[in-house]
Amino acid sequence: MSLTARIKDHHSETRLFVARVILSSVIGIILLGTVVARLIQLQIYDHELFAEQSQGNRVRTEAVPPTRGLIFDRRGRVLAENLPAYQLELIPEQVPDLDDTLARLAGIGLIKEEDIPRFNGLSRSGPRFKPITLRFRLSEDEIANFAVQRPRFPGVDLQPRLVRHYPDGELIAHAVGYVGALSTADLGRLDAAAYSGTSHTGKTGVEHFNEELLHGHVGFQQVVTNALGRQVPVETRDFSDALPASESPKPGNNLYLTLDLDLQRIATRALDGKRGSIVAIDPSNGEILALVSAPSFDPNGFATGMSPSEYNALQNDEGRPLFNRAVRGTYPPGSTIKPMLSLAALEVGATNLTRRSVCIGWYSLPGSSHRYRDWRPEGHGEVDLHDAISQSCDVYFYEISRDIGIDNMHLYLDQFGLGRQSGLDMDGESDGLNPSREWKRQAFRERADQVWFPGETIIASIGQGYMLATPIQLANAVAALGARGDRFKPHLVAAFEDPITGRRTLVAPERLPRVNIDNEFYWDNILAAMHDVMQSPTGTARAAGANARYEMAGKSGTAQVFSIAQEEEYDEDEIAERLRDHALFVSFAPLENPRIAVAVVIENGSSGSRVAAPVARAIMDQYLNGTDDAL
């Protein structure tokens, strides 16, 4: 029997081969179809998306910072401007030896040695092809000095920029404020996109409060970059035409302030060598005519860059030039509140226009041996309310204070705005303090300390004790006196202007609640007494009011810095200057329809009528004898 074995089955192999070919073809067709479909999607449907992304790989959007708005005084004189200047900039990747370069720049006086570590840190914190600013503004001599030596400093160059400049420097430092380099805190509160490309922002004063108006709107431009992000020049027309459109920045609004530069100058000169503040206001609308704090400082140092040692010198200056006394300084108002308390006393029946008292130079509460002394040791003799104001008799107010009561004092002084922020368009304003029984209960923890004592009412009646007020509050209060109870919120910005169209928008005055005095006749008597303070033979400030060409009214104040014992006498010549009394004076003019109200505070000036009153007179003379002030 023979066995036959099939060695090769051509039919089966052919079928298997054909099946594999078909399968491979189907897979190949599917894969090819997938590729074709993807290509169609990429080239047709997603063309715009990927074209835009592709463009983004070679084109970078850079912010173009806006030009900051200008600031003018009420007569159109420039208070803050932008000047072209040359900055000294360094590109780290182009500098062979950074430490050596910085050291040699310090050697020729273009940078300070103390700033070198900061510049080293800046060079490491960002891309090495990005420039870092070494100096914001160079003088002509410094520019010439560097130009001669430029070949010695590869990677260091001068670049033109606009730099904030304050032509009148110290005159307007506390009112206008200043701009400074953006800090980490600034970047946290500001819109990062809106400040792309911007290096400075308002720090204090008008510059800070009106930052949104002054800054403007950022623009952008497209620049071509290589793979490392460095900008490369556009060499062909076709490529430049392919760049997306740019947008020009919109400059910030120009601001017109209510300030009068002439008054600022007079006030600054009057406080030369002194510590204190002067605020002048228009009683008819709340416009701030002058706002000065002394000593002052040059705000240009902050705009152009200040070294740590320079800043520390300002911070540690004994005169505290950076402290804005006009809105942040709090002082016992002294006798400047007597006209306001007189209105309160008349309203609540604590006194009347005919009541007379005998001032013997001191006053004691019933059953107490403690003497509350008058500023005149021998006393004023027999006085009525009019005399008590014009001659500033303390004893008269000691007597009527018990019938007024501290809570009524608080109520009426509050109507004049004492003890709370005035609402001025500037940040950092202090509240001051207008005490009451309720305030003391809230202010002290111990129950024994929460009791309001009769003696505290006595000293409150002459603006001492717990009572504190800021110069802006005193100016606003005396403006309300001059306007017979009409009050306006004080403000510095009079108008803002679109720099492109020139359209100017005026800021309308904002009325505040009137001082509630039912009997209008009381105003006549109190203002007449304030007039006699300056222009009667017995007025405490008669020397300052002598020979004036207009009728004026005022009230002096002297505020103790420290207490003296009953048996001690106050001797100005024997105590340290910093322990002398503060000198205060408030005034307005003309007597009828006043156009200006002034508050003067001179720290440790000793006498309000002798030291502060002539300052107020000089300011009123300048303003009332000046030219038209309408915007």
H/E segment holding residue 189: helix 184-189
Do 526 and 485 meet the contact criterion of CB atoms below 8 Å apart? no
* Distance separating alpha carbons of residues 43 and 49, to the nearest angstrom: 10
Coil/strand/helix, residue 148: helix
How many angstroms separate the first and last alpha carbons of the chain? Answer: 133
* Distance separating alpha carbons of residues 570 and 564, to the nearest angstrom: 7
Active-site residue among 277, 293, 296, 335? 335
Do 282 and 595 meet the contact criterion of CB atoms below 8 Å apart? yes
* Distance separating alpha carbons of residues 321 and 124, to the nearest angstrom: 35
From residue 369, give the alpha-carbon distance in Å to each of 363, 410, 451: 9, 27, 21
Nearest to 623 by CA among 376, 388, 287, 329: 287
308 DSSP assignment: H
* Distance separating alpha carbons of residues 118 and 102, to the nearest angstrom: 11
Q: Where does 356-478 show beta strands of DSSP type E?
A: 357-359, 362-363, 372-373, 381-383
- In the block, residue with structure tokens 């300002």: 314
Among this protein's residues, is 125 annotated catalytic? no
Q: What are the phi and psi torsion angles at 586 (to 5°)?
A: -125, 145
Q: What are the phi and psi torsion angles at 149 (to 5°)?
A: -105, 10
* Distance separating alpha carbons of residues 609 and 597, to the nearest angstrom: 16
* Distance separating alpha carbons of residues 344 and 341, to the nearest angstrom: 5
How crowded is residue 386: how many other Cβ atoms within 10 Å of its Cβ? 17
DSSP notation for 245-299: PPBPPBPPPEEEES--HHHHHHHHHHTTT--EEEEEE-TTT-BEEEEEEES---T
Q: Give the sheet arrangement for strand 288-294, strand by strand.
A: 288-294, 276-281, 596-602, 582-589, 553-559
**Helices within 290-372 (DSSP H only):** 300-304, 308-315, 325-328, 338-348
Task: Tell me which residues are annotated as active site.
Answer: 335
